[in-house]
Structure 1
Amino acid sequence: MSYESVTVLVVDDEEMVRENLEAYLEDEGFKVATAGSGEEALELLASVSPHVGIIDMRLPGMSGNDFIIKAHAVNPALRYLIHTGSTNYKLPVEVMNVGVTHEDIYIKPLQNMDMLVRGIDRLLAK
């Protein structure tokens, strides 16, 4: 599959995680936009139309859950993968209502980032 036309939004407050995901996804052929907070990511949605967001849950200010709910109001077509270090993360009903499922949750650190590409492929096929 060719990914040149697919934009992925990476939202994570850890710069190293953002940079690693960005480099990996760009190597896979995706266009990538990054943000260090939910607020910054919401601003990006005005100029970038991502297809998939990879969202950390623990962010400064707005949580990842709140970002997903607000971003869905701005761009209902955007799909999400949750990338969290919280092993006890519980998917709220409001986030499920946006279309996020338990299959869309990835716990950091990922041993194999190919899992994210498979997750993106699954979301793009919906």
Structure 2
Amino acid sequence: MNERPKRILVLDDEEAIRLSLEMFLGDFSWQVHTAADTATALKLIEHNCIDLALVDVRLAGESGNRFIVEALKIQPKLKVLIHTGSIDYAVPPELQKLGIGEAQVVRKPQPDLMRFLALLEAQLAGS
């Protein structure tokens, strides 16, 4: 019996990051959706069942934090990882109330993509 592909949404306004993650995860049979802005990402969440959202917090327009709040209203079981280059980012109280903590924060850049993949897998497994 074949396992269905894992479905991930990569929300990042940097095209190079979106494309590189799309290609990398695609090599491991992930079904990858990408978005450069929150409006597009929310439409994808509304029309697709997504297992995991990888969300940049500093976006043009609305923040990734706001996206997470709205996305969880649409798909309450969505797993979320915050993907940020900010060394001083702290999970705001509004996200902490939704069960998101420092364990769901991943810093850019990712020097070891295989470790990054293991982190995504662990998040989906609920670890």
Q: Normalized against structure 1, the TM-score is what?
A: 0.92
Letter in 2 for 1:63: S
Pairwise CA RMSD of aligned residues? Answer: 1.5
Q: Deviations over 1:80-101 (max 9, x none)?
A: 1111111100101211222222
Q: 1:3, 1:28 within 8 Å by CA — same for their partners in 2? A: no
Residue of structure 2 in register with 1:78 after alignment:
78
Shift of 1:3: 6.6
Map of 2:58 onto structure 1: 58
Separation in 2, partners of 1:19, 1:110: 14
Give how far 1:46 is off.
Answer: 1.9
Report if the CA contact (8 A) 2:90-2:102 is conserved: no
- Pair 1:123–1:3, CA change in 2 (3 A): farther
Cα contact 1:58–1:84 (8 A) shared by 2: yes
- Structure 1 gaps of 5+ residues are none
> 1:81 and 1:59 mapped to 2: Cα distance?
15
Alignment partners' CA distance in 2, 1:41 and 1:102: 23
Secondary structure, counterpart of 1:103 in structure 2: helix
Q: Which runs of 4+ in 1 moved over 6 A?
A: none
Q: TM-score under structure 2 normalisation?
A: 0.91
Asked whether 1:36 is paired with 2:39, we answer no
| Unpaired segments ≥5 residues, structure 2 | none
* 1:124 shift after superposition: 1.7
How far did residue 119 of structure 1 move?
Answer: 2.0
Percent of residue pairs identical: 34
Q: Aligned residue pairs: how many?
A: 125
2: distance between equivalents of 1:28 and 1:81? 18
Q: Is the 8 A contact 2:54 2:82 kept in 1?
A: yes
Instruction: Say yes or no: does 1:124 pair with 2:124.
Output: yes
Offset of 1:115 from its aligned partner?
2.9
